[in-house]
Structure 1
């Protein structure tokens, strides 16, 4: 049995009858509504050339550029194939810049009033924010797989086995979800201030001051503690250990600490800011 909606236009839209309605605030509704909105976001990003370029195409091209321009020189200077540092670095860059593109898209939806329109629909209130993190997770995984595939073409390998390789691929996801939470918090708490854009500049600086670009020892002595312990370097060093061998425990614990710390700090501002943004169009 179906319900038909007719208008002055000749087209007829047919909606399926709701057989088992779930309370708006139930866990079942949260799950189903989040999946539906995740699909919406992924389709929206896939149809946006800017998002696709910044999240997928740009990181892959950057990897090839670093390999062609600097890879051979760094390999000769260090005696270690540079791709074992460059590939992890670019997976993190892809996660970060993709989240920034998503944050800018979120600000546009806020300005256009789309968040407010979704807020008044009979959907679970938490599904809007949760779906964004789910969509970010899917994007990060796809981007990581693509970058590692390109890396394999230029010499990257899982020398420590497939389980270590799987763990390596999960680190950009952990790092990226934490970063996406921070971007979301900044996006929904600043309608006019260009916080997300400023964050993009900061990420560009971090790109040139981490252990994936060149080894930590190549930096000035006074700068090495910062380079070694900044979030990108911790994740890169852990991924190096999981791919070509070397220390894993310490950089892995640092990466987890940075990521969990980011989630703890920015989850509440993201939730509160999203509620305020949805209730008050920019």
Structure 2
């Protein structure tokens, strides 16, 4: 905090969003190192889900996929479910951002930031960029587990680069929502539970079963919610399935979610700054 105070209260200093964001990012990266449990939970949950789905249910679920030989059901299901697991990992990372923000709010640290000449957007952006980095690292580790148990993408260098960019973009958007949820929450407990809503969306999309296998009333939601084009774009890039309009929809949804999270969190920050 001493470094932050000196940086933010220098005489005649006008707030500079980029400089302040870097300072806040450094603080949040240190927080990530000091509280590794949040990062560990983000990784362990998807890994456990992946292992259970593939080795317990994969043979049966994979055999039910269109055009799959029942004898290769487990391998087919691993390939099918991996993009959904990666999106679950990103969605779960919102919980870390939400909890961190809620801790700062309840411990009075955010109130102290409001009294400094720190850009308000930078306080929030520091959380977002730090959580985006954490989410990308978690995705890489979960993907590594998938490769170890037999996931074999067919992507070339261009597709890998596009997939990486998409993962960063989605992580950035989800992080803004996580920050907003943390600011909305009155307790750390609420902040840890609210982002769980995001983890349901890959389950209610095409992450684990084709949407065509769902009841008709659920198919409409599954088709048009944001995580389905996220998953289908990642699946197409990594495995060569048809992309269609999914990348365009994925980028559009990511932009909408990021903007919504930014406006929501900044409005909460401004509102609570006047109290």
Q: Secondary structure at the match of 1:247?
A: coil
Q: CA deviation at 1:196?
A: 4.2
Structure 1 pair 211/182, CA: closer, same or farther in 2 (3 Å)? Answer: same
Q: Which residue of the partner structure matches residue 171 of structure 2?
A: 176
Q: Secondary structure at the match of 2:154?
A: coil
Structure 1 residues not aligned, in runs of 5+: 6-12
Q: Which residue of the partner structure matches residue 212 of structure 1?
A: 207
Q: Which residue of the partner structure matches residue 162 of structure 2?
A: 167
CA deviation string 1:74-125 (max 9, x = no partner): 2222217122332211221111111122202211210110111223234344
Q: Which residue of the partner structure matches residue 21 of structure 2?
A: 34
Whole-angstrom CA distance in 2 between matches of 1:189 and 1:249: 37
Q: Which residue of the partner structure matches residue 10 of structure 1?
A: none
**Which of these residues, 33, 54, 60, is aligned with residue 41 of structure 2?**
54
What are the within-5 Å matches in structure 2 for residues 120-269 of structure 1? 120-191=115-186, 196=191, 199-269=194-264
Whole-angstrom CA distance in 1 between matches of 2:173 and 2:249: 14
Retained in 2: the 8 A contact 1:115–1:278? no
Kindly report the root-mean-square deviation, in angstroms, between the aligned alpha carbons of the 2 structures. Answer: 2.9
Q: Which residue of the partner structure matches residue 89 of structure 1?
A: 84
Retained in 1: the 8 A contact 2:42–2:92? yes
Q: Which residue of the partner structure matches residue 23 of structure 1?
A: 13
Q: CA deviation at 1:232?
A: 1.5
Structure 2 residues not aligned, in runs of 5+: none
TM-score, scaled to structure 1: 0.81
Retained in 2: the 8 A contact 1:91–1:147? yes
The structure carrying a bigger helix percent of its residues is 2
TM-score, scaled to structure 2: 0.83
Structure 1 pair 117/21, CA: closer, same or farther in 2 (3 Å)? Answer: closer
CA deviation string 1:32-71 (max 9, x = no partner): 3322321221221232244123222222232222222222
